[in-house]
Each structure stands twice: as structure tokens, then as C-alpha cells.
Amino acid sequence: MKRYSVFAIAREALRWHQGWERAWRSTEPKASYDVVIVGAGGHGLATAYYLGKNFGITNVAVIEKGWLGGGNSGRNTTIIRSNYLENSSSAIFEKARSLYETLSQDLNYNIMFSPRGLLMLAQTEHEVRGYKRTVHANQLQGIEPTEWLDKARVKEIVPILNVDGPRYPVLGAQYQARGGTARHDAVNWGLARRCSDMGMDIIQQTEVTGIRTEGGRVTGVDTTRGYIGTKKLGIVVAGHSGVLAGMAGFRLPIESMALQAWVSEPIKPCIDVVVMANEVHGYISQSDKGELVLGGGTDSFNHYSQRGSFHHIEQTTRALIEMFPIISRLKMLRQWGGIVDMTGDRSPILSKTPVENIFINCGWGTGGFKAIPGSGWAMAELMAKGEGTLASEFGLDRFREGRFIDESVAAGVAH
């Protein structure tokens, strides 16, 4: 691994920042690779990273139609937690959360992991039952603990929260003390730098426009920069998964819709945990710059525009103002959206496909940032060995067999 030290910062300051190396190489595509990954979001990059790190497979290209991290992996609200209900889900999300704990050291890149604590507020009896059930399940699963907090304890932890609002009273919360956030761009950039260090090619501004097969097996992809051959193909394109699957001749049980977020002007520290209020499809945390990061629910119709509807901003902000009156005095600075890939059971797909040696990783919907290292770990194993321990329950077969992994409570904003 290349060494990048704090002394480099001092050295570059002394020479007027003339010597910084590119974090990842910019390169022309080769004629062929052992593995091509489509999509340089967090999941595509993590897949490439763990293919190299865990299996020594480095003749890999990651092909990205825009800029790396320009999809959902650079557009999310960075919440990390592993408080899922089913064993297969909590296993992969906890694997991811635990990898996040040491990802800065592993990548030698500060991803600003901040395990500041995560609350999911219960605002209806239905949510109380759902979250208590998840707390019990998490205890049996032996993951990083989650616990049930009563209303008074919630108020102690989040003093700016109005727990007695007329429309949205708080009844309690599910709490994971080592849930939190990380800096999304840094996760993408750190993974990209390590992939590049391992000799992998990250090819940006290059769209995959077709997938070629011969005898039911993948041979390569057509791109806006020509044909690239490959022995194995990983499709990791979130909201565009259906488009890529169509190129390979199969269909997916995925819907694409916009999810949006917005941030306020920076203010002094006022909330030192992450709070999700899934009943109102809202959530809030404070960035290191002091901005309040707010998010809403998914649009209720399918589309591919990275914006989100205005009425969602209005509804969510109205509810959050009742719960966090401090927000009413703030100016909002910017708003954006991303195209999320939603399955009916709100669980991801990590799977072989009807085409030999094409693998797909999608369906993380509104909740895949927290999964990036675990998903990459699992997908790399699946692609390298043709089967995977963490991935085994998340195959496409489950939709045919009716073996759903219902995570509608844990998915939170996407319930």
C-alpha cells in the first residue's frame, strides 16, 4: 500500500500545493479484464476493493457513466446502523457497521466515521411494537446492541426534541449507541484510491450501453468508449439496475424512485446523535460543519430525475418543525435527490443472474450507504467463488419462491 502521511500535507503546503498526486489514476480502458464492475458508487467500488483485498483479483475495471460517487453514494444522509430484524439482514448490516469502525485505518483514508448514537423514534403503538421486537431480535443475533428507551430518556439524549407534540408525540425509541455517520465522499474516494493502488482501472465518464453474451455467458460490454471484454460482470448501478438488466435480457423486481434530502445553514452544535422519525418520513443529524441534515421519504411514483417532489419537502419539514421547533428559524441552503432502487420486501439483491458470470448487487433502496463495506465484502465473495455466505439469502430466487426478507420496519424511511 502506498503511504500517505500527515507530513505530506505540510510538504505540499511548503511547495504551494504543486505536487499532490491524483488520488486514483485516470486511464484508458484495456481491451479486456477478468472482472468489469458497472457503477462506481460505494457498492461497486467496495466490490472491487474486496475482490483485490480478499481474493487477489486485481485485473478489474470499474466503469462509471458520470463521476465516481456522483450517484446515491454521494447524495445520501450518511446514516449507519445495523438494527434490522431478520438474521440474514442484521448479519450483513452488522458486518458493514463493524468494517466501518476500522475503515479509515484499513483504507488509510479518513472517512470520518462518527458512531455518535442513533435513535429511531416510535410515534405510534405500531412502531413501539415493531422496534421492541427488533430490539429482542438484535439481542438474540448478538450484533452491536440496540435497546429500547422510554420517552424521558429520549428527551435527555435529544433536548431539542419536542416529545409532547399534538400530532407527533414521541412514545419511546430504539437506540443503537454505536450507530452514527461517516463522510460519504470520503468513503467513495478512499475505496477508489485503494482500488487504483492495487492496479485496478476506474474509468469515469464512460457509459455502458450494451452487454454482450455468447452461449448464455457474458463476453463483454459496449461502452461510449468502445467494447471492453470481460470474464465476469458485476452490475452495481442502484436506480439504473433495471436498465442494465434489460441490456442482459432479464427483468428485476425493482422500482426506481427519488429520495431527497436538504441541509440548513450552519449553526452551533445542538444535536449530537442521529434521529430518525419514520412515521413522518423524516430524519435529522448535524454535520461537522454545523449544518442540520434533513431528509424525507421517497416519491410515490417511479422516475429517474435526481430531484424529488416539492410537496415532500413541505410535508417533512412541517412535521420536523413540530418535533424540532429550532428548525423553524433556519434557512435551508440546498436540496438534492437520488434515484433509489426499491424491492418489495425492502431487502437487497446480491445474486447470480440468468446469464452465466453476470452478478447483480442492487435493491439497497433508501438504506445502502450503511451497507457499503459489508455489501462489497459479500459481493466480492459471490463473484470470486460463485457463492457467498453473507449473500446467500439475498438471491433473486427468493422472489420466485416467495421467501421474502421483510425489512419494512427497519428500512425506516422506505416502510
- Binding footprint of ligand FAD on the chain (CB under 6 A): 38-44, 63-66, 70-73, 75-79, 207-208, 236-238, 240, 244, 259-261, 295, 338, 340, 364, 366-370
Q: What H or E segment, with its residue span, contains residue 79?
A: strand 79-80
Note whether 74 binds ligand PYC by CB under 6 A: no
Residue closer to ligand FAD by CB (options 84, 109) is 84
Note whether 360 binds ligand PYC by CB under 6 A: no
The 3-state secondary structure of 161-220 reads CCCCCCCCCCCEEEEECCCEECCHHHHHHHHHHHHHHCCCEEECCCCEEEEEEECCEEEE
Handedness of CA 27, 368, 370, 285 (dihedral sign): positive
> Using CA atoms in the order 16, 18, 19, 23, what is the torsion angle rounded to 10 degrees?
110
Stretch that binds ligand PYC, among 34-42, 73-81, 108-116, 342-350 (CB under 6 A): 73-81
Residue closer to ligand PYC by CB (options 47, 174) is 174
DSSP 111: -
Q: How far is the CB of 239 from ligand FAD (least distance, A)?
A: 6
260 interface partner picked from ligand PYC, ligand FAD, none, CB below 5 to 8 A per type: ligand FAD
Indicate which single residue of 79, 191, 342, 383 sits in contact with ligand PYC (rule: CB under 6 A).
79
Residues 233-272: x where in contact with ligand PYC by CB under 6 A, - otherwise, as a string: ----------------------------------------
Is 366:412 a contact under the CB 8 Å cutoff? yes
φ and ψ of 334, to 5 deg: -155, 160
For residue 231, the SS3 value is strand
Note whether 38 binds ligand PYC by CB under 6 A: no
- Written as one letter, the residue type at 264 is S
Q: How far is the CB of 293 from ligand FAD (least distance, A)?
A: 9
Q: How does 73-110 read in b/e, with b if 16+ C-beta sit within 10 Å?
A: bbbbbbbbbbbbbbebbbbbbbbbbbbbeebbebbebe
Note whether 412 binds ligand PYC by CB under 6 A: yes
Indicate which single residue of 309, 366, 372, 382 sits in contact with ligand PYC (rule: CB under 6 A).
366
Please give the residue ranges that form the binding site for ligand PYC (CB under 6 A): 77, 79, 81, 276, 283, 295, 366-367, 412-413
